[in-house]
Amino acid sequence: MTYSVLRKLFSSVFLLLLSTQSVLAIVESSEPKWTLEKEKSGVQIYTGNNEGSGLVTYKAVTEVNTPLSNLFNFLQDVNVTTSWLYNLKSIVRLGTKDFYETDYYVIYSTPWPVSDVSAVLRATWQYDQANKLLKNSTVSVDTEQFRDDGYMHIPLIETHNRFQQIGNDKVKLSFQVTIDHGYAVPDLIVDSVSIDTLYETLINLQGVDYMKYGDTNLLNELLHDK
């Protein structure tokens, strides 16, 4: 398993950007002790150990200049997801339960001679209107439909993401990711790949023109579907 293959595998954790029943679940009431690993261009990347599992959780934090509603509208636009989600090759929306829970079939590009990788990801959303806080969880789902699709499948991953409005035109993003890549790879390489992938994805999100996504407010759909 090469460095570049691992880097591409790890990029799947953000779809999410884009559910919580998993042996890798992050217990929000038991926060890891965070260690700052990288800080550059307004992005901070942290690592923390999960007690009992031996797995590392990665946390990425940054701010983007946009109203929360515009950001949410943008994240729902699968036509542009490949432009910001690191190494994503294609994405197909499979189905939606109400508005707040959606399954996606995704394919990630990997270098020759390794085949591309695929996953079915289930994204759920919650909106706390009083506190202007948007929550997202994403988990990989094992489905019969795509089990024999000819791709290597991404191991189980889980994310818990927060989008907090901190001003009229500013949102604080916080992503937490736990992943078990399933391969005997040195921790140093896994950490380097994970940190770089998180950083590149958040840098892409910083550069989006969110003003183009202000014509509607899809957050209202989350309130109506409770």
- Omega of the bond leading into 113 within 30 degrees of 0 (cis): yes
Q: What share of the chain is helix, strand, coil (3-state, %, to 5)?
A: 25, 35, 35
Looking at residues 108-130, what average pLDDT do you find? 80
Whether 97 is in a domain gets the answer: yes
Q: Evaluate whether residue 218 is within a structural domain.
A: yes
Element (DSSP H or E) covering residue 94:
strand 88-97
Higher pLDDT, residue 163 or 5: 163
Beta bridge partners of 118: 107, 153
d(CA 20, CA 169): 30
**Long-range CB contacts (within 8 A, 24+) of 212-216:** 213/70, 213/71, 213/73, 213/74, 213/77, 214/67, 214/69, 214/70, 214/73, 216/73
Give me the pLDDT at residue 220, please. 86
**Residue 27 confidence (pLDDT):** 41
- 30: in domain: no
What pLDDT score was predicted for residue 39?
96
The 10 Å Cβ neighbour count of residue 127 is: 24
In a domain, 106, yes or no: yes
Pick from 5-14, 17-26, 121-130, 140-149: least confident: 17-26
Considering the domain boundaries, does residue 209 fall inside one?
A: yes
**Mean pLDDT computed over 2-29:** 46
Q: What percent of the chain has pLDDT over 70?
A: 74
Task: For residue 126, give its domain range.
Answer: 3-25+35-224
Nearest one of 86, 116, 114, 115 to 16, comparing CA atoms: 86
Domain assignment of residue 148, yes or no: yes
Number of domains comprising the chain: 1
Contact (CB, 8 A) for 117 and 109: no
| pLDDT, tens only, 26-85 | 444 467 789 999 999 999 999 988 776 677 889 999 999 999 999 999 999 999 988 998
This prediction's pTM = 0.80
- Decide if 171 is inside a domain: yes
**CB within 8 Å of 198: residues ≥ 6 apart:** 14, 43, 45, 58, 60, 175, 177
Q: What is the pLDDT of residues 189-212, one digit of tens each?
A: 556 767 888 899 999 999 999 999
Comparing CA positions, the residue from 63, 31, 61 lying closest to residue 44 is 61
Which amino acid does the sequence have at 33?
K
Q: What's the full length of the chain, in residues?
A: 226
125 membership: H or E segment, kind and range: strand 117-128
CATH code, domain carrying 137: 3.30.530.20
Within a domain: residue 132?
yes
